[in-house]
Amino acid sequence: MSFPLYAPAEEHDMLREAVRALAEEKIAPRAAAADENEEFPEDSYKDLVAADFHAVHVPEEYGGAGADALAAVIVIEEVARVCASSSLIPAVNKLGTVPLLLSASAELKAAYLPAVARGEAMFSYALSEAEAGSDAAAMRTRAVADGDSYVLDGVKTWITNAGISEYYTVMAVTDPSAGARGISAFVVEKSDEGVSFGPKERKLGIKGSPTRQVILENVRIPASRMIGAPGTGFKTALATLDHTRITIAAQALGIAQGALDFAVGYVKERRQFGKAIGDFQGVQFMIADMAMKLEAARQLTYAAAAKSELAMHGTPVKDLTFFSSAAKTAASDAAMEITTDAVQLLGGYGYTRDYPVERMMRDAKITQIYEGTNQIQRMVMARQLLK
Ligand code: CAA
Ligand code: FAD
């Protein structure tokens, strides 16, 4: 068969039930406070670790659960359904470590992945800079070889979970004359001398997930911490995003599902003109459209996850880049529409912090921006189609 099955297996359904139970019991009650106080939900992290849901993608040989890409999607979806900030724990652990899984030496993987699997360390991903966001190859951070070391200098911006992650995949220029082919990837540790963090960004949403600069001043690290060969860092960074844009799609699906579920419950209860507002066809059509957009995006995301899984195990998958960008774009655009409609369906109450849908609408917005804006995703898809 040339096209992989992507329907969830029984194990995936059981996983979903288990994550949903934990999410509803433990993570949901803390979601509003994480948003309101702009604080990382430390207890939710501990609960995810205790249940082994914090980094399910780490292979068994490094002490992880060895779950497939669809399982990782399901975990992120279910956590995001109640708390988008908490869903960045499994999502960013995957983003930070896929560069190692794709390109690092056996020694480097063995040195860093077990601590992530055990929940002792989180792993962030540092590509963006102030002048190099969409145009990531324009980065300025330098890594200069010096004997058996590299010395890193520069500022990485917008780094999710910066300060709380122990480890960072950092892309830096090793050969300024070679453009994208002069970029290399490294593992940097929070405890490396010369590493510091900017203040927390003051954001619209995902306020429980700290976003900070990672400042690198004369940071000397062993050359063995380079991921792959010199000059391959940009390719590793983009190949990583082919797998992890699917996790942002999962986050968007979860946020949208949370908003849809809440709105459905509300319209059955809220009465106007002597009936439940869910009895009005104008409301029913909105609910139907929301569910339809969500399911279409979900099927695209699961198909992309199946392709990611094949590619991770060495099968060349020509259209992974297209599917990954398409899933992220479809799911994030759907999430923005669905959460906005959920606020609409709650009327004035939806606009207040007494109900969760305004938080979900604010959280949904970021999924159209990070891991490449949706304009960049459309550019990536068009390049695939036209090449
Ligand atoms: N996989 C592997 N290699 C790839 C690739 C892929 N998917 N796509 C391109 N490449 C290779 C190319 O083949 C080329 O290599 P060669 O020169 O050896 O052939 C090299 O990478 C450069 O490719 P391009 O010329 O296409 O690169 P570009 O400079 O035109 O830009 C881009 C490409 C798609 C715009 C890219 O810069 C991009 O994706 N930008 C968006 C940045 C982004 O997504 N940032 C995410 C930050 S992480 C984040 O946000 C985290 C979070 O949310 C939690
Ligand atoms: P710009 O590149 O300046 O784009 C501005 C606008 O111009 C956008 O609408 C964009 O789509 C549009 N645009 C730019 N170029 C084109 C073009 N060629 N065609 C059409 N439109 C174009 N980065 C990391 O490396 N690691 C992280 O962990 C991380 N986490 C993040 C968390 C948050 C909360 C945020 C806000 C960002 C995070 N990012 C992270 C960075 C994120 O990936 C970038 O913000 C994103 O890629 C866009 O870059 P930019 O902000 O510089 O926008």
| pLDDT (tens digit per residue) in 100-134 | 999 999 999 999 999 999 999 999 999 999 999 99
Ligand number nearest CA of 130 is 2
The runs of H, that is alpha helices, within 83-178 are 84-103, 106-117
In this structure, are 207 and 241 located in the same domain?
no
235 lines ligand 1 (CB under 6 A): yes
Which among 195, 229, 263 is the end of a domain? 229
Q: pLDDT digit string (tens) for 231-274?
A: 999 999 999 999 999 999 999 999 999 999 999 999 999 999 99
In this structure, are 222 and 338 located in the same domain?
no
Looking at the structure of the chain, the number of domains it has is 3
Of 381, 371, 318, the C-alpha closest to 95 is 371
Does residue 261 lie within any of the structural domains?
yes
Residue closest via CA to ligand 2's atom 18 equals: 376
Ligand number nearest CA of 317 is 1
Q: pLDDT digit string (tens) for 125-144?
A: 999 999 999 999 999 999 99
Which among 172, 206, 229 is the end of a domain? 229
- Predicted local distance difference test score (pLDDT) of residue 236: 98
Does residue 268 lie within any of the structural domains?
yes
211 lines ligand 2 (CB under 6 A): yes
372 lines ligand 2 (CB under 6 A): yes
Conformational region of residue 179, where left means phi above 0, alpha means psi within -120 to 50, and beta covers everything else: left
Q: pLDDT digit string (tens) for 331-375?
A: 999 999 999 999 999 999 999 999 999 999 999 999 999 999 999
Q: pLDDT digit string (tens) for 285-337?
A: 999 999 999 999 999 999 999 999 999 999 999 999 999 999 999 999 999 99
195 lines ligand 1 (CB under 6 A): no
Beta bridge partners of 151: 144, 220
In this structure, are 43 and 129 located in the same domain?
no
Which among 209, 229, 249 is the end of a domain? 229
In this structure, are 89 and 147 located in the same domain?
no
Asked casually if ipTM beats, i.e. exceeds, 0.90, the reply is yes
Q: How far is the CA of 371 from the centre of ligand 1 (A)?
A: 11
Residue closest via CA to ligand 2's atom 2 equals: 134
In this structure, are 213 and 162 located in the same domain?
yes
Does residue 135 lie within any of the structural domains?
yes
- Predicted local distance difference test score (pLDDT) of residue 15: 97
Does residue 220 lie within any of the structural domains?
yes
Residue 280 binned pLDDT confidence (cut-offs 50, 70, 90):
very high
- Predicted local distance difference test score (pLDDT) of residue 2: 42
Examine the residue annotation and report whether 371 is marked as an active-site residue of this protein. Answer: yes
In this structure, are 110 and 173 located in the same domain?
no
Q: Can you give the residue range of the structural domain that contains 51? A: 10-118
Nearest-atom index, ligand 1, CA of 248: 53
Half-sphere exposure of 318 toward its Cβ, with a 13 Å CA cutoff? 5
Does residue 326 lie within any of the structural domains?
yes
Tell me which of 235, 317, 328, 369 to substitute to probe ligand 1's pocket, judged by most ligand atoms within 8 Å of the beta carbon.
235
Residues in the chain: 387
Q: pLDDT digit string (tens) for 55-85?
A: 999 999 999 999 999 999 999 999 999 999 9
In this structure, are 111 and 130 located in the same domain?
no
Give the 3-state secondary structure of residue 173: strand
Does residue 1 lie within any of the structural domains?
no
Residue 6 binned pLDDT confidence (cut-offs 50, 70, 90):
low
In this structure, are 241 and 367 located in the same domain?
yes
Residue 164 has pLDDT above 50, yes or no: yes
DSSP tag of 369: T
Does residue 186 lie within any of the structural domains?
yes
In this structure, are 185 and 315 located in the same domain?
no
Residue 3 has pLDDT above 70, yes or no: no
Does residue 3 lie within any of the structural domains?
no
Of 110, 168, 165, the C-alpha closest to 143 is 168
Mean per-residue pLDDT of the chain: 97
Residue closest via CA to ligand 2's atom 47 equals: 372
In this structure, are 219 and 258 located in the same domain?
no
Ligand number nearest CA of 126 is 2
In this structure, are 225 and 237 located in the same domain?
no
Rounded to whole angstroms, the Cα distance separating 64 from 339 reads 34
- Predicted local distance difference test score (pLDDT) of residue 8: 78
CB distance 54 to 89 below 8 Å: yes
Tell me which of 139, 212, 248, 370 to substitute to probe ligand 2's pocket, judged by most ligand atoms within 8 Å of the beta carbon.
370
In this structure, are 290 and 157 located in the same domain?
no
CB distance 205 to 359 below 8 Å: yes
**Which of the residues 78, 129, 358, 371 is marked catalytic?**
371
CATH no. for residue 137?
2.40.110.10
**C-alpha 293, offset from chain centre:** 21
Residue 1 has pLDDT above 50, yes or no: no
Of 199, 110, 114, the C-alpha closest to 163 is 199
CATH no. for residue 110?
1.10.540.10
